[in-house]
């Protein structure tokens, strides 16, 4: 096995034997870490965050918090984020790097703050659609401009007064929902937001925990639907105090590894068991993997351990519902589909086309390179399970594509090009993968 992190390529060799691994160092949750950096600005007291994800994306959100006036200090694995008395203009542009979450949530948060803010990102983020937040924010009075009439970053925000709103989102997106909730906290009355399937709800849970009034109005007969009512802030919120759990989306690469390498098992420690985040594990279970969940505590959300064990060749599956709950795991899930006994289908997943890469195209192209038969359509793909062959995979700068095909390499060996992107969310990914193969990558 060889790797050269300087040129950011990795060569994965196949595992020589089964593994039984306890993973207590999976990267901390990216969504929650972003929110810790941002929401600490809504308090007047310092927040204390243990196990904040030190990946590029979330460190960029933290740096932006500093540019907006927060004082950040670190002791061991604990960050203390002391907010400024008043949020004010930053002297320089605010660089979100590769993070759509960073850009879209800051867009909502800053729209209601007096001052001029310029949000930018790397060459991938500067080509991802921002209209999904810019349009609804403009409709409540936000002054935002950017390339393509505000659809592409850099985005220039002239923060000011916002009107209360009633908005029914055409997409189930936690980023859009969170941006609008953050704007609603500074609007001139109670705002209402609705999506057709509840997307990940860390924003609602954390803001409620900090004392904000963010209420879900349950609709009869539909557990995961309803309007969210958001009251504007009358006073600063309570600070955050939490240990960020492990990220189930990052852990899922190793869940797939255990499900496809005969006689293997992994135990993922202290991961969020939030129902909007573990749907991919349910699908892997439907495919035949043996999965066990053990809830241990509840800090803003349920947290516990997940055990995943190989249980014979996987069965094919159709994935066409609850897509928002497994959108980030679909690339890794596709590797499981590629070795299943028959044809699997992904549908209603057009959102994949606007992630860090066009993930329908990059998954299909990568699988084809590995000798797997696929069929691409606008909102998904078919994967006919077979034998994965060694190939050279271009990640297209997308961390989840790089990590998914690295896991496929456990069966066949794999060359992955452009692995630098893995640092955005999971800096120690290869260390854990090396424990499975027994050779350092
Ligand atoms: C995220 C929401 C999801 C997800 C992204 C993180 C968040 O995006 O894909 O990785 O932290 O809110 P959408 O909600 O836009 O689908």
Residue 308 has pLDDT above 70, yes or no: yes
Same domain flag for 303 and 324: yes
Residues 43-52 have a mean pLDDT of 98
Does residue 352 share a domain with residue 223?
no
Which atom of ligand 1 approaches the CA of 105 most closely? 12
Residue 198 covered by a domain: yes
Q: Give 24 Cα–ligand 1 centroid separation in angstroms.
A: 24
CA quadruple 282, 283, 286, 288: dihedral sign: negative
CATH code: domain of residue 257: 3.65.10.10
Q: Are residues 192 and 115 in the same domain?
A: yes
Q: Which of 57, 201, 305, 328 is catalytic?
A: 328
Residue 426 lies in a domain: yes
Rounded to 5°, angle at Cα 1 from 281 and 257: 10
Q: Are residues 342 and 401 in the same domain?
A: yes
Same domain, 330 and 250: yes
- Residue 135 domain flag: yes
- pLDDT tens track for 279-301: 999 999 999 999 999 999 999 99
Ligand 1 atom closest to residue 31's alpha carbon, by position in its atom list? 11
Q: Which residue has the tokens 């456990």?
A: 410
**pTM across the whole model:** 0.97
**Cα of 438 from ligand 1 centre, angstroms:** 33
321 lies in which domain range? 9-28+245-437
Identify the pLDDT of residue 91.
Answer: 96
From the CB of residue 101, how many other CB atoms can be counted at a distance below 10 Å?
A: 22
Q: Span 399-408, mean pLDDT?
A: 98
DSSP code of residue 123 = T
Whether residue 206 lies inside any domain: the answer is: yes
**Whole-angstrom Cα distance, residue 143 to residue 160?**
8
CA 11 to CA 3: how far, in whole Å?
6
The mean of the pLDDT values for the chain is 96
For residue 228, the cross-strand partners are 193, 216
pLDDT, mean of residues 39-67: 98
The verdict on 205 and 256 lying in the same domain is no
Residue 217 within a domain: yes
Residue 393 is predicted with a pLDDT of 98
Which of 196, 216, 243 is at the close of a domain?
A: 243
Question: 200 C-alpha to center of ligand 1: Å?
Answer: 8
- Read off the pLDDT of each residue in 347-375 and give the average, rounded to a whole number: 98
Residue 29 in tokens: 């949750």
Protein residue closest via CA to atom 9 of ligand 1: 328
User: What distance in angstroms lies between residue 100's CA and the mean position of ligand 1's atoms?
Assistant: 8
Q: Is 1:11 a contact under the CB 8 Å cutoff?
A: yes
My answer on whether 302 and 346 are in the same domain is yes
CA-to-CA distance for 276 and 89, rounded, in angstroms? 35
Q: What is the pLDDT of residue 2?
A: 37
Into how many domains does the chain fold?
2
Residues 165 and 232 in one domain: yes
**What is the C-alpha to C-alpha distance for residues 280 and 275, in angstroms, rounded to an integer?**
10
Contact by Cβ (8 Å): 97, 421:
no
Domain identity same for 14 and 61: no
Question: What values do phi and psi take at 242, rounded to 5?
Answer: -160, 160
Which residues have CB under 6 Å of ligand 1?
31, 34, 101, 173-175, 178, 199-200, 327-328, 351
In 10 A of CB 114, how many CB atoms?
A: 13
Please give the number of the atom of ligand 1 that sits closest to the Cα of 35: 11
Please count the other Cβ atoms lying within 10 Å of the Cβ belonging to residue 224: 19
Same structural domain, 208 and 263: no
What angle is formed at CA 431 by the lines to CA 330 and CA 421, rounded to 5 degrees?
50
Express each pLDDT in 314-354 by its tens digit: 999 999 999 999 999 999 999 999 999 999 999 999 999 99
Q: Reply yes or no on whether the pLDDT at 5 is more than 50.
A: no
Same domain, 342 and 312: yes
In a domain, 78, yes or no: yes
Whether 328 is catalytic is yes
Q: Does the residue 3 lie in any domain?
A: no
Ligand 1, atom 13: closest residue by C-alpha: 173
Q: Given ligand 1 and candidates 175, 329, 349, which is best to mutate, with the most ligand atoms within 8 Å of its CB?
A: 175
pLDDT band at residue 440 under the 50/70/90 scheme: confident
Ligand 1 center from residue 390 Cα (angstroms) = 31
The closest-lying atom of ligand 1 relative to the alpha carbon of residue 327 is 9
Choosing from 194, 222, 243, the residue where a domain stops is 243
Q: Can you tell me the mean pLDDT for 237-250?
A: 98
Around 75, how many Cα atoms within 13 Å sit in the side-chain half-sphere? 3
* Span 29-49, average pLDDT: 98
Question: Is 2 within the bounds of a domain?
Answer: no
Contact present, 284 and 309 (Cβ < 8 Å): no
Give yes or no for a contact between 57 and 424, defined as CB atoms under 8 angstroms apart.
yes
- Compute the distance from residue 174 Cα to the ligand 1 centre, in Å: 5
Q: For residues 162 and 279, state if they share a domain.
A: no
Q: Among residues 243, 273, 307, which one ends one of the domains?
A: 243
d(CA 291, CA 282): 8
CA-132 nearest atom, ligand 1: 15
- E strands, 280-404, where? 290-299, 301-309, 318-319, 343-346, 373-377, 380-384, 392-394
* Mean pLDDT of all residues in 372-396: 98
Residues in the chain: 441
- Percent over 70 (pLDDT), the chain: 98
The string of pLDDT tens digits covering residues 137-175 is 999 999 999 999 999 999 999 999 999 999 999 999 999
């Amino acid at each position: 096995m060889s790797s050269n992190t300087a040129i950011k390529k990795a060569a994965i060799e196949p595992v020589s034997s089964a593994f039984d691994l306890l993973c207590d160092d999976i990267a901390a949750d990216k969504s929650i870490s972003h929110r810790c950096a941002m929401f600490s600005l809504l308090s007047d007291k310092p927040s204390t965050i243990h196990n904040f994800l030190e990946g590029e994306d979330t460190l960029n959100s933290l740096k932006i918090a500093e540019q907006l006036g927060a004082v950040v200090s670190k002791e061991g694995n604990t960050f203390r984020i002391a907010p400024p008395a008043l949020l004010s203009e930053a002297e320089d542009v605010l660089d979100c790097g590769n993070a759509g979450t960073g850009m879209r949530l800051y867009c909502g948060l800053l729209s209601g703050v007096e001052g001029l803010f310029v949000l930018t990102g790397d060459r991938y983020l500067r080509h991802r659609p921002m209209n999904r937040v810019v349009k609804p924010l403009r409709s409540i009075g936000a002054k935002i401009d950017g390339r393509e009439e505000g659809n592409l970053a850099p985005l220039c925000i002239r923060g000011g007064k916002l009107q209360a709103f009633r908005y029914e989102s055409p997409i189930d997106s936690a980023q859009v929902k969170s941006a609008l909730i953050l704007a609603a906290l500074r609007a001139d009355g109670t705002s209402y937001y609705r999506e057709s399937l509840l997307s990940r709800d860390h924003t609602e849970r954390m803001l409620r925990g900090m004392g904000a009034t963010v209420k879900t109005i349950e609709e009869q007969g539909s557990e995961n639907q309803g309007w969210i009512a958001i009251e504007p802030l009358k006073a600063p919120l309570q600070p955050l105090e939490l240990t960020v759990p492990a990220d189930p989306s990052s852990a899922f690469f190793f869940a797939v590894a255990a499900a496809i390498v005969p006689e293997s098992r992994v135990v993922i420690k202290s991961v969020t068991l939030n129902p909007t985040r573990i749907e991919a594990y349910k699908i892997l279970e439907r495919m035949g993997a043996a999965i066990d969940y053990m809830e241990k505590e509840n800090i803003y959300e349920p947290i516990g351990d997940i055990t995943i064990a190989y249980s014979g060749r996987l069965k094919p599956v159709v994935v066409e519902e609850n897509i928002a709950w497994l959108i980030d795991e679909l690339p890794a899930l596709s590797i499981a589909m590629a070795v299943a006994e028959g044809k699997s289908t992904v549908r209603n997943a057009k959102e994949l086309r606007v992630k860090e890469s066009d993930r329908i195209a990059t998954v299909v192209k990568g699988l084809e390179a590995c000798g797997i038969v696929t069929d691409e359509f606008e909102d998904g793909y078919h994967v006919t399970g077979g034998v994965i062959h060694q190939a050279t995979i271009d990640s297209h700068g997308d961390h989840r594509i790089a990590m998914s095909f690295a896991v496929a390499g456990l069966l066949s060996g794999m060359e992955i090009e452009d692995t630098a992107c893995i640092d955005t969310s999971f800096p120690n990914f290869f260390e854990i993968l090396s424990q499975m193969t027994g050779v350092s990558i």
